């Protein structure tokens, strides 16, 4: 299906006194950043720690367990949860806690969050305080079991809260009803950072949480939270530490394994180089491996654990590839004439799918059909676990909430964000859930992007096709959700084309307005080889191709369409 291309409009006039180039001024104006000062790169520009409700009470609770207590961190099995756990572990150890440890639920045995079963498992370590990171806001039953066992509980989370909150001594979550924290977009690791900053201030022990901003950058970027100003500052400060080599040896090892130069690390390097390898542990095995990799100060040990994570990621890619092919076949079996006739949401299930990879499959299929997708896998207990990915205009977690309200016994649990959510239900309820979601999502279709609109920053001038422009945009800001990396479109002469790596299309092109011959690559678009004309419209990003010590401009082509 041909995807529509639309150009962003400036959201105001950028400051004429800015020292930005014309290119950067255009790009930033399209994102509502009108002055260099609006970007904010100093740590002093983050929202003050004290403005996040509950952090001072959390610091007081933690400090009571510093010397004679036993703190157990209950983590999560994705990159945000891993970085949150590693950050709290390293911070509390540095601040002199006598006993602090972590426990990550095995997703295949215990599921997500602070479940009663996890509380039972935690009791084997005789903790006095449980601390959740990147989870816990929906763990009502688990919190109740912790209270029955005489444990104190601190919940730190960023997911949307349910109507009934868990019983805990303290809850820190910027999305709590009534919270006036200006940014609702903190990742779980961002919340953990704020709590540790409040603790460091209370203890006044000389520890600076800024030392752990590399972990904050990694978790924030990996969790694809909206990149508002506060998150951009946190990510930028963390990237600066990584580029300076002042970061966890595990991050350096993972960058090296993914052929990324830590000295020039960007958000893209963390998102596509480090995060998948870290996430692979939680998807296929045990995220404890990833957490240990982020915690160790030993570079040799870090490289060993990074290599294990890399092996897991290769296995994950193989499994995901097979599942994606099966899912696409399932879509084809609907026997519709075009993707325009697809239902407003797809709910896909195969009894052989791996529950650790369904989220990735949902994401990949969504990108192909431009519909929200829920992919399900069967658990050992016979229940179905689903992972949902949405499109612009549909708040997927709210849609599930509405279904749960109308069908109270259908979903055993659910939670998440606007663009991603997870859920569990009995296999017998799958058809009912599918129909209920189709009816619910149909109410949102007027606002949904079901065409996969490609938003661009317009055309580049011939003089802007150079390495300097690519470097400028690469370094300009941590791009991410709601602050997208610059993308351009235009008409090009196709001079050469060939298939590389079986799936990719390598091109030599020249801008129709004239200029130099440019290298370009279109990943996963080898099928376009037979459809190329002399002139084609390309949607692309500027990239720096590094090969054998040489740095050259390269166009990363995302879409190819006839003139």
Q: Using 50, 70 and 90 to split pLDDT, how confident is the model at 286? A: confident
What is the chain's mean pLDDT, rounded?
Answer: 91
The per-residue pLDDT for 15 is: 58
The per-residue pLDDT for 206 is: 93
**Tokens 């994401």 map to which residue?**
363
Per the CB < 8 A criterion, the answer to whether 152 and 61 are in contact is yes
Phi first, then psi, for residue 127 (nearest 5°) are -75, 160
The per-residue pLDDT for 333 is: 73
The average pLDDT across 397-402 equals 92
Per the CB < 8 A criterion, the answer to whether 452 and 537 are in contact is no
The per-residue pLDDT for 356 is: 84
The per-residue pLDDT for 521 is: 96
The average pLDDT across 117-126 equals 95
Gyration radius of the chain over CA positions: 24
More confident residue, 481 or 491: 491
pLDDT at 107 over 70: no
The per-residue pLDDT for 246 is: 96
Tens digits of per-residue pLDDT, 290-315?
999 999 999 999 999 999 999 999 99
Tens digits of per-residue pLDDT, 512-562?
988 899 999 999 899 999 999 999 999 999 999 887 778 899 999 999 999
pLDDT at 339 over 60: no
The per-residue pLDDT for 166 is: 96
Among the four given CATH numbers 3.40.220.10, 1.10.8.350, 2.40.10.120, 3.10.310.30, the one describing domain 334-447: 3.10.310.30
Q: Using 50, 70 and 90 to split pLDDT, how confident is the model at 341? A: confident
Range from 230-234, 239-243, 301-305, 420-424 carrying the lowest mean pLDDT: 420-424
The per-residue pLDDT for 84 is: 98
Per the CB < 8 A criterion, the answer to whether 405 and 399 are in contact is no
pLDDT at 508 over 70: yes
The average pLDDT across 378-390 equals 89
Please tell me which of 33-37, 170-174, 326-330, 334-338 the model is most confident about, judged by mean pLDDT: 170-174
Q: What is the architecture, at CATH level 2, of domain 49-312? A: Alpha-Beta Complex (3.90)
The per-residue pLDDT for 82 is: 95
Per the CB < 8 A criterion, the answer to whether 560 and 549 are in contact is no
The per-residue pLDDT for 513 is: 86
Residue of 91, 303, 79, 306 whose CA lies nearest to 212: 91
* C-beta atoms surrounding 497 within 10 Å: 18
Tens digits of per-residue pLDDT, 311-323?
999 998 898 888 8
Q: Where are the domains of the chain?
A: 5-30+457-562, 49-312, 334-447
End-to-end CA distance of the chain: 15
pLDDT at 336 over 60: no
Q: Using 50, 70 and 90 to split pLDDT, how confident is the model at 447? A: confident
Q: Do domains 49-312 and 334-447 have the same CATH topology?
A: no
Q: How far apart are CA 291 and CA 445, in angstroms?
A: 41
The average pLDDT across 246-257 equals 97
Helix, strand, coil percent values for the chain (each to nearest 5): 45, 20, 35
**Tokens 């290599």 map to which residue?**
307
Q: What angle do CA 303, 308, 313 make, to 5 degrees?
A: 120
Q: How far apart are CA 55 and CA 195, in angstroms?
A: 5
Tens digits of per-residue pLDDT, 181-193?
999 999 999 999 9
Collapsing DSSP to helix, strand or coil, 328 comes out as helix
The per-residue pLDDT for 477 is: 77
CATH number of the structural domain 5-30+457-562 = 2.40.50.140
The per-residue pLDDT for 340 is: 60
The per-residue pLDDT for 165 is: 96
pLDDT at 170 over 70: yes
Per the CB < 8 A criterion, the answer to whether 100 and 349 are in contact is no
pLDDT at 431 over 90: yes
* C-beta atoms surrounding 12 within 10 Å: 10
Per the CB < 8 A criterion, the answer to whether 465 and 511 are in contact is yes
More confident residue, 300 or 336: 300
* C-beta atoms surrounding 114 within 10 Å: 30
pLDDT at 334 over 70: no
Tens digits of per-residue pLDDT, 128-168?
999 999 999 999 999 999 999 999 999 999 998 988 999 99
Q: Which helix H or strand E contains 360, and what residues bound it?
A: helix 358-369
The per-residue pLDDT for 547 is: 78
**420-426/71-74 β-pairing:** unpaired
């Amino acid at each position: 299906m041909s995807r529509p291309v639309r150009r962003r409009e400036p959201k105001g006039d950028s400051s004429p006194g800015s020292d930005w180039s014309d290119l950067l001024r255009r790009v930033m104006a399209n994102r509502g950043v009108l002055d260099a000062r609006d970007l904010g790169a100093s740590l002093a520009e983050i929202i003050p720690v004290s403005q996040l409700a509950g952090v001072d009470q959390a610091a007081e609770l933690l400090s009571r367990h510093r010397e004679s207590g036993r703190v157990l961190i209950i983590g999560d099995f994705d990159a945000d949860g891993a970085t949150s756990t590693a950050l709290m572990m390293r911070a509390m150890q540095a601040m002199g806690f006598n006993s602090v440890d972590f426990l990550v639920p095995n997703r295949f045995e215990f599921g997500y969050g602070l479940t009663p079963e996890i509380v039972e498992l935690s009791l084997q370590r005789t903790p006095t305080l449980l601390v959740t990171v990147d989870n816990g806001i929906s763990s009502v039953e688990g919190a109740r079991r912790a209270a029955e066992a005489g444990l104190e509980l601190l919940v730190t989370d960023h997911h949307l809260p349910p109507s009934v909150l868990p019983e805990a001594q303290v809850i820190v979550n910027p999305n709590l009803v009534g919270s006036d924290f200006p940014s609702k977009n903190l990742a779980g690791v961002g919340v953990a950072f704020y709590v540790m900053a409040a603790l460091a201030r209370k203890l006044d022990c000389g520890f600076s949480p800024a030392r752990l901003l590399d972990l904050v950058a990694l978790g924030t970027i990996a969790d694809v939270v909206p990149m508002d100003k506060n998150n951009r500052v946190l990510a930028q400060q963390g990237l600066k530490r990584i580029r300076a080599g002042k970061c966890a040896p595990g991050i350096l090892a993972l960058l090296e394994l993914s052929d990324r130069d830590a000295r020039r690390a960007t958000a893209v390097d963390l998102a596509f180089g480090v995060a998948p390898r870290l996430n692979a542990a939680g998807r296929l095995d045990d995220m404890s491996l990833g957490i240990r990799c982020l915690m160790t100060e030993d570079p040799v040990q870090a490289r060993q654990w990074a290599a294990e994570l890399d092996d897991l990621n290769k296995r994950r890619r193989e499994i995901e590839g097979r599942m994606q092919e099966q899912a696409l076949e399932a879509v084809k079996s609907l026997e519709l004439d075009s993707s325009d006739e697809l239902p407003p949401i797809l709910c896909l299930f195969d009894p052989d799918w791996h529950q650790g990879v369904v989220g990735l499959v949902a994401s990949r299929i969504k990108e192909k059909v431009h519909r929200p997708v829920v992919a399900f896998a069967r658990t050992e207990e016979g229940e179905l676990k689903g992972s949902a990915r949405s499109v612009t205009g549909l708040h997927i977690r709210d849609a599930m909430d509405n279904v749960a309200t109308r069908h109270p016994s259908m979903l055993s649990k659910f939670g998440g964000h606007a663009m991603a959510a997870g859920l569990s239900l009995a296999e017998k309820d799958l058809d009912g859930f599918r129909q209920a979601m189709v009816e619910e999502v149909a109410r949102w279709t007027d606002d949904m992007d079901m065409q996969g609109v490609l938003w661009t920053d317009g055309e580049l001038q011939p003089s802007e096709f150079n390495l300097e422009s690519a470097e400028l945009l690469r370094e300009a800001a941590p791009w991410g959700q709601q602050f997208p990396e610059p993308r351009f479109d235009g008409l090009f002469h196709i001079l050469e084309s060939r298939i590389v790596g079986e799936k990719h299309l390598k091109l030599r092109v020249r801008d129709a307005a004239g200029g130099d011959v440019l290298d370009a690559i279109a990943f996963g678009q080898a099928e376009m080889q037979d459809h190329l004309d002399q002139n084609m419209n390309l949607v692309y990003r500027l990239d720096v191709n590094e090969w054998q010590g040489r740095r050259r401009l390269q166009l990363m082509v995302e879409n190819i369409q006839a003139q």
